[in-house]
Amino acid sequence: MTDKFLEEEFKSLLYNFGEINWNILTPEAWDKYINRDEPFNEEQLAELRSFVKNFLDFLTDKPEKESK
């Protein structure tokens, strides 16, 4: 999973959450990351990559634990 792919998918998710008015981004962040499509910085990408990895690990481990 490249940083660009991860960033595009996450921005799409943020946009969809914003469209249903969950207010998960400040107006300034919305303008910066969605309207102007500015890239995330390295620290943000590292945190995002870690979150996605942990989430995928959780999703893939859960069915094994439930089936035992």
Q: 52: Cβ–Cβ under 8 A, 6 or more apart, which residues?
A: 1, 6
pLDDT at 19: 81
Handedness of CA 40, 15, 29, 36 (dihedral sign): positive
Domain ranges of the chain: 10-63
Tell me the one-letter amino acid at 67: S
> Where does residue 21 fall: left (phi above 0), alpha (psi -120 to 50 degrees), or beta otherwise?
left
- H or E stretch covering 52: helix 42-67
pLDDT of residue 62: 64
- Residues of the chain falling short of pLDDT 70: 62-68
Q: What is the pTM of this model?
A: 0.67
